[in-house]
């Protein structure tokens, strides 16, 4: 009995230590669980950020692709602009002659070319003498004394027409402004 009593006393003495160890293990377990939950939360956050970046990348590349398709023929259209200018000059000179067949033929060819370029998105700037000069839209070649006071700071003459492709200006109109 003494032996049983001794064992009982030892167990009672060890009980607080055992309880303490179990409590520490529970604390360790909780802290491990909390640590794992924090790590999961960090990984979720990283995933969401990566997903958002990828969505932004997809949107940006789709927008760039659409812009590329809109302006894909820009180089060819730019190369065709001097041909349009030549047709305009030719029409002025041909009208001086009385050859009606020649005038009709050149007008036909010029019209087909313009129609084709318009169908590809090319637009002509509507710039006339007397319009207000805007440095963002016009290219001033030179300044001359204004023929009248109301023409100061305005366009006096248009040297070369301007063109745009969609919203992008591919050639600024070259103008002379009054001083």
Per-residue tens of pLDDT for the chain, all 179 residues:
555 665 656 555 555 555 556 555 555 566 888 899 999 999 999 999 999 999 999 999 999 988 777 767 788 888 899 999 999 888 888 888 878 888 898 899 999 999 999 998 889 988 888 888 988 899 999 898 888 888 888 899 999 999 998 888 899 999 999 98
Give the pLDDT score at 5: 61
How far is residue 138's CA from residue 154's CA, in Å, rounded to a whole number? 11
Give the pLDDT score at 4: 61
CA distances 177 to 107, 143, 151, 172, Å, are: 31, 5, 8, 15
Give the pLDDT score at 9: 61
Helices marked H in the chain — which ranges?
2-70, 74-94, 100-119
Give the pLDDT score at 121: 85
Give the pLDDT score at 13: 59
Q: Which residues touch 162 (CB under 8 Å, ≥6 apart)?
A: 124, 125, 127, 137, 138, 139, 169, 171, 172, 173, 174
Residue 130: both structure tokens together: 């007397």
Q: Tell me the CATH number for domain 74-178.
A: 2.30.22.10
Task: Output phi, psi for 158, to 5 deg.
Answer: -105, 115
Give the pLDDT score at 7: 61
Give the pLDDT score at 139: 92
């Amino acid at each position: 009995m003494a032996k049983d009593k001794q064992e009982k006393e030892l167990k009672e003495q060890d009980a607080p230590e055992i309880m303490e160890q179990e409590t520490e293990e529970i604390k360790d377990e909780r802290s491990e669980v909390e640590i794992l939950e924090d790590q999961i939360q960090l990984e979720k956050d990283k995933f969401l950020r990566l997903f958002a970046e990828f969505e932004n990348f997809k949107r940006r590349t789709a927008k760039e692709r659409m812009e590329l398709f809109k302006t894909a023929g820009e180089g060819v259209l730019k190369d065709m602009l001097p041909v349009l200018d030549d047709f305009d000059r030719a029409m002025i000179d041909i009208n001086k002659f009385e050859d009606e067949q020649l005038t009709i033929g050149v007008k036909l060819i010029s019209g087909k070319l313009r129609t084709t370029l318009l169908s590809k998105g090319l637009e002509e700037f509507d710039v006339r003498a007397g319009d207000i000069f805007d440095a963002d839209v016009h290219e001033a070649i030179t300044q001359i004394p204004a023929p009248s006071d109301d023409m100061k700071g305005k366009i006096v003459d248009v040297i070369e027409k301007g063109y745009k492709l969609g919203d992008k200006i591919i050639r600024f109109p070259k103008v002379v402004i009054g001083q």
